[in-house]
């Protein structure tokens, strides 16, 4: 799946969770992506976020790139 589409999907998810405090939003986005996206989609998106490409919303970048706080 192309990065542009993944970015749009991710940004839509961010738009929903943006109503919540940042930490909660990031965790929710991460959880949503893990529940519903295939490993391939997650990996493609994560790689693009790490490279700073694709136009992903900062919340999505944090959700995909940062490791989950224990």
Q: What is the binding site for other proteins (CB under 8 A)? A: 1-2, 5, 9, 12-13, 15-16, 18-20, 32, 34-41
Q: How far apart are CA 38 and CA 51, in angstroms?
A: 20
CB closer to other proteins out of 27 and 32: 32
DSSP state string for 35-64: HHS-HHHHHHHHHHHHTT-TT--HHHHHHH
Shorter beta-carbon distance to other proteins: residue 28 or 65 = 28
**Cβ at position 42, least distance to other proteins in Å:** 9
């Amino acid at each position: 799946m192309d990065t542009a589409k993944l970015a749009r999907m991710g940004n839509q998810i961010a738009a929903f969770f943006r109503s919540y405090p940042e930490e909660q939003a990031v965790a929710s986005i991460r959880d949503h992506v893990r529940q519903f996206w295939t490993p391939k989609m997650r990996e493609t998106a994560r790689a693009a976020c790490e490279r700073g490409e694709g136009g992903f919303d900062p919340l999505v970048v944090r959700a995909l790139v940062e490791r989950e706080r224990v």
